[in-house]
Structure 1
Amino acid sequence: MVKINGELLERDGKTVTEMLADMEISGQRVAVEINEEIVPKAKYDETILKDGDRVEVVRFVGGG
């Protein structure tokens, strides 16, 4: 189980890219942090979630 934005989900074994697709936010401007470390966007395809990881996903919203 992986804790994503405070919710426990079965996402271990998936890449960050796959997780974002599951969340239906792939292609959007986001920042991803795993265990308090920012994951560079260039590493989303190779970063695999592990059981016990704590993930925070922040979406950027424009406005004024």
Structure 2
Amino acid sequence: MIGPRALVGARSMILKGVSVGEGAIVGAGSVVRRSVQAGAVVAGNPAEQVGAARAWGSAVT
């Protein structure tokens, strides 16, 4: 399930059974194998947390 206000980059893959929390950001081309917490910024293959989004429209690394 992809939560409200979550952003998923182009060519990302979210595997079966994985959830992306509210306001989370998934970087382009990422492979998300585990659920992503609300407000987390993830990127890579496999996706790892690289930062956090404090409020809608602002990210902190």
Taking structure 1 as the reference length, the TM-score comes to 0.25
Taking structure 2 as the reference length, the TM-score comes to 0.25
Greater gyration radius: 1
User: Whose strand proportion is higher, 1 or 2?
Assistant: 2
User: Whose helix proportion is higher, 1 or 2?
Assistant: 1
Q: Structure with the greater relative contact order (CA < 8 A, sep ≥ 6): 1 or 2?
A: 1
